[in-house]
Amino acid sequence: MEKQKKLMNQYVADLAVLNVKFHNLHWNVTGEIFKPVHEYLEELYDELFEYYDEVAERLKMLGEFPLASMRSYLEATNVEELTDRDYPYEEAYKIVKDDIESLRERVTEIRNLADDNGDFGTVAMLEDQIAEFDKQIWFLEQTVK
Ligand SMILES: [Fe+2]
What is the domain partition of the chain in residue ranges?
Answer: 2-144
For the domain spanning 2-144, the CATH number is 1.20.1260.10
Q: Are 128 and 10 in contact (CB under 8 A)?
A: no
Q: Quote the percentage of the chain above a pLDDT of 70.
A: 100
pLDDT in tens, 53-98: 999 999 999 999 999 999 999 999 999 999 999 999 999 999 999 9
| Residue 27 CA neighbour count, 13 Å, CB half | 10
Give the model's pLDDT for residue 16.
98
The H-or-E segment that residue 73 falls in is helix 70-76
Distance of CA 88 to the CA centre of its chain: 21
How far, in Å, is the centroid of ligand 1 from the Cα of 8?
Answer: 28
Give the model's pLDDT for residue 23.
98
Angstrom distance (rounded) from CA 67 to CA 85? 29
How far, in Å, is the centroid of ligand 1 from the Cα of 4?
Answer: 34
Give the model's pLDDT for residue 25.
98
How far, in Å, is the centroid of ligand 1 from the Cα of 133?
Answer: 22
20 confidence band (pLDDT: 50, 70, 90): very high
pTM exceeding 0.85: yes
pLDDT in tens, 95-127: 999 999 999 999 999 999 999 999 999 999 999
What sign has the CA pseudo-torsion 107, 20, 13, 118? negative
Q: Are 76 and 13 in contact (CB under 8 A)?
A: yes
How far, in Å, is the centroid of ligand 1 from the Cα of 72?
Answer: 26
SS3 category, 29: strand
Give the model's pLDDT for residue 143.
85
Q: Are 20 and 81 in contact (CB under 8 A)?
A: yes
CA separation (Å) from 96 to 54, 68, 133, 137? Answer: 21, 24, 11, 9
pLDDT in tens, 26-59: 999 999 999 999 999 999 999 999 999 999 999 9
